């Protein structure tokens, strides 16, 4: 069983199992309250699922793409929980979870997953379908672009306001079960944070 956390869009937390599926999931769509709700959601899904921390085999972290401030809250929470529980961290690209749900709902063929990057920009990832294990096959991306420059115009487009931690966790379960590799442990901010480092102390004149 896995605890899965994603804050690339809203905030989503779930407990999943390869055989039982999504056991418990809570989602908060507000993109400005990641830090306020993440602890409550983790506590809620663990209580609802009845799964003790000792029974978890790992902690899944959605690696984005996502805005810097929100995304780092979920990754930091996942890493802290994994460290405290003595469990491995399992990184998964967040857009893969959206594609997983869309294909599971009957979408066929090429799919373009789009999420809000703020600053009048969009994050995107392109998929061709699912492999023999049911895992989405990413053709291109993740990328960052202005709305007018969005690539793959011929693909079916899906704009996601949230990312399901349950779907994220099931992808991790499928990859583990089939001996497949996980994504890199590297946040996909795709641009620099708003805060910039100082170039040095300012000269003060008398």
**pLDDT tens digit string along 170-200?**
999 999 999 999 999 999 999 865 544 445 5
45 φ, ψ to 5°?
-70, -35
User: Mean pLDDT throughout 67-92?
Assistant: 97
Adjacency order of strands within the sheet including 21-28: 21-28, 11-17, 2-6, 58-62, 89-92
Tokens of 39: 């602890």
Cα–Cα separations (whole angstroms), residue 42 to 27, 38, 67:
10, 6, 21
pLDDT computed for residue 30 by the predictor: 87
> What is the predicted pLDDT for the residue at 195?
47
Dump pLDDT digits (tens) for 119-161. 999 999 999 999 999 999 999 999 999 999 999 999 999 999 9
Q: Residue ranges per domain, the chain?
A: 2-177
Query: Distance between CA atoms of 93 and 43, rounded to whole angstroms?
Result: 24
CATH architecture of 2-177: 2-Layer Sandwich (3.30)
The alpha-carbon radius of gyration of the chain (Å, integer) is: 18
Long-range contacts of 40-47 (CB under 8 A, 24+ apart): 41/11, 41/12, 41/13, 42/3, 42/5, 42/13, 42/77, 42/81, 44/13, 45/3, 45/13, 45/14, 45/15, 46/3, 46/15
Q: How far apart are CA 52 and CA 173, in angstroms?
A: 18
Q: Which residues pair with 113 in a beta bridge?
A: 125, 158
CB-CB contact of 162 with 95 (8 Å): no
Given a cut of 60, is residue 204 above it in pLDDT? no
Q: Decide if pLDDT at 202 tops 70.
A: no
């Amino acid at each position: 069983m896995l605890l899965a956390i994603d804050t690339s869009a809203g905030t989503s937390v779930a407990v999943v199992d390869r055989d039982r599926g999504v056991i418990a999931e809570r989602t908060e769509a507000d993109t400005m309250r990641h830090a306020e709700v993440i602890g409550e959601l983790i506590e809620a899904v663990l209580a609802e699922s009845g799964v003790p921390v000792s029974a978890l085999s790992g902690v899944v972290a959605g690696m984005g793409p996502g805005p810097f401030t929100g995304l780092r809250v979920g990754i930091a929470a996942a890493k802290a929980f994994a460290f405290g529980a003595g469990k491995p961290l399992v990184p998964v690209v967040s857009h893969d979870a959206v594609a997983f749900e869309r294909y599971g709902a009957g979408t066929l063929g090429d799919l373009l997953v789009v999420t809000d990057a703020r600053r009048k920009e969009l994050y995107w990832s392109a998929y061709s379908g699912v492999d023999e294990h049911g895992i989405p096959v990413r053709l291109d991306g993740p990328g960052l672009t202005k709305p007018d420059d969005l690539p793959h115009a011929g693909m079916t487009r899906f704009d996601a306001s949230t990312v399901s931690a349950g779907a994220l966790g099931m992808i991790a379960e499928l990859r583990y079960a089939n001996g497949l590799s996980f994504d890199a442990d590297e946040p996909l901010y795709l641009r620099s944070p708003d805060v910039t480092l100082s170039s040095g102390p300012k000269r003060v004149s008398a």
